[in-house]
Amino acid sequence: MLTVNAYAAPSATEPLVKTTIERRDVGPKDVLIEIRYAGICHSDIHTVRGEWGPISYPQVVGHEIVGYVTEVGSEVSLHQVGDKVGVGCMVNSCRECENCLAGNEQYCLNGNTGTYAAVDVDGTITQGGYSTHVVVVEDFVLKVPDSIPFEKAAPLLCAGITTYSPLAHWNAGPGKKVAVVGMGGLGHMAVKIAHAMGAEVTVLSQSLSKQEDGLRLGADHYYATNDPATFETLANSFDLIINSVSAKIDINAYLALLRFEGTLVSVGAPPEPLPVQVFTLFNNRRSFAGSSIGSIRETQEMLDFCAEHGIAPETELVAADAINEAYERVLASDVRYRFVIDIATLA
């Protein structure tokens, strides 16, 4: 076992603190990664605070991880020492169910193994990326192209793939009108990716406070949802709406913005149900869908796509001892648009 530095939550109510955790020995198919950068995702905060259900403590979170391979197991064939690699929201799956066999391991019917707060194959609880090293089975390790600035790459592993997957699945591209609800960590990536795919992109944000950013990042149009006229102007307009908001919104008002056979996909996760007026779906034969991260194959495709199109998240680099402060700023929506922890400050 390897004892490594980490930043962990001691309980649901205390700030995260510097500590050490154990990483398993590198098995035949494992890769040891020296972590360089880890993104701060809103899910990290929900998880450590027990808002998505009880967890065991201490818990290290972080599922937007990039670093260098420093050791490989005897049977590893996909990665070599020195490679720039990434790890996202999952580190394993059953590999036997219908969805895994079809290459959709994010939808593993036996539950994929989350990068943190999940039960690993050896019965231990997985610990995430706010640490100096992690051991991951090689098939769940991604290659990070050199042209993506390394200190900005980490958020692609959650925010990037979570928005890329539905945009690709529902064919965002030339001639398609795509709306992005919410201009946060997920939303700003949806804007960049949809624009690079060739779609006409509209941001639907609460106010116009981030309009300048939205247009700079690739949006063609920007509307405030606190102005009721927005919903009249844009009725029956969009082929695809990506809802990145994790608070409860009036979903019917947004469904009414879909044109014929349009789809609204939720990637944000409000804790309470969203009541849908079915008549709104009858009109224009609309669909209301959900999407969860992306497969490993698709995550690699996304990284390569971002490299090819020069896309990287907008980030603010913080030291490990600023994680608690960063959490408060995430909760106050005071980040443009993703915090990334410089793991060198944890060494």
- 54-70 CB burial, b ≥16 within 10 A, e <16: ebeebbbbbbbbbbbbe
Can you tell me which residue has the tokens 């915090």? 339
Q: Which stretch binds Zn ion (CB under 5 A): 5-13, 97-105, 203-211, 225-233?
A: 97-105
Q: How far is the CB of 94 from Zn ion (least distance, A)?
A: 3
Residue 316 exposed, middle or buried by CB count within 10 Å (0-12, 13-18, 19+): middle
Q: Which stretch binds Zn ion (CB under 5 A): 87-95, 130-138, 222-230, 301-309?
A: 87-95
Q: Which of the residues 144 through 203 are near Zn ion (CB under 5 A)?
A: 158
Sign of CA dihedral 139, 314, 270, 324: positive
Contact pattern from residue 43 through residue 62 relative to Zn ion, giving x for each residue in contact according to CB under 5 A and a dash for the rest: x-------------------
Q: In this structure, what token pair is assigned to residue 121? A: 């194959």
Q: Which stretch binds Zn ion (CB under 5 A): 93-101, 140-148, 212-220, 240-248?
A: 93-101
| List 8, 9, 108, 307, residue binding Zn ion (CB under 5 A) | 108
| List 2, 12, 55, 94, residue binding Zn ion (CB under 5 A) | 94
Q: Which residues make beta-bridge pairs with 289?
A: 265
Contact pattern from residue 226 through residue 265 relative to Zn ion, giving x for each residue in contact according to CB under 5 A and a dash for the rest: ----------------------------------------
Question: CB-wise, 91 or 158, nearer to Zn ion?
Answer: 158
User: Peptide bond preceding 58: is omega within 30 degrees of 0, i.e. cis?
Assistant: yes
Q: Which stretch binds Zn ion (CB under 5 A): 4-12, 95-103, 226-234, 338-346?
A: 95-103
Question: CB-wise, 44 or 239, nearer to Zn ion?
Answer: 44
Contact pattern from residue 111 through residue 150 relative to Zn ion, giving x for each residue in contact according to CB under 5 A and a dash for the rest: ----------------------------------------
Q: Which of the residues 26 through 45 are near Zn ion (CB under 5 A)?
A: 41, 43
Q: Which residues make beta-bridge pairs with 9?
A: 59
Q: How far apart are alpha carbons 303 and 314 in whole angstroms?
A: 15
Q: Which residue, 173, 175, 179, is CA-closest to 197?
A: 173
Q: In this structure, what token pair is assigned to residue 112? A: 């994929």
Q: How far is the CB of 112 from Zn ion (least distance, A)?
A: 7
Q: Which residue, 81, 89, 85, 96, is CA-closest to 35?
A: 85
Q: Which residue, 70, 85, 61, 212, is CA-closest to 144?
A: 85
Question: CB-wise, 161 or 258, nearer to Zn ion?
Answer: 161
Q: How far is the CB of 82 from Zn ion (least distance, A)?
A: 27
In 3-state terms the chain splits into helix, strand, coil percentages (rounded to 5) of 30, 30, 40
Vertex 234, ends 233 and 237: CA angle to 5°?
140
Q: How far is the CB of 199 from Zn ion (least distance, A)?
A: 23
Q: Per CB under 5 A, does 100 bind Zn ion?
A: yes
Q: How far is the CB of 96 from Zn ion (least distance, A)?
A: 6
- DSSP 8-state class, residue 175: T
Count of chain residues binding Zn ion (CB under 5 A): 9
What is the binding site for Zn ion (CB under 5 A)?
41, 43, 93-94, 97, 100, 108, 110, 158
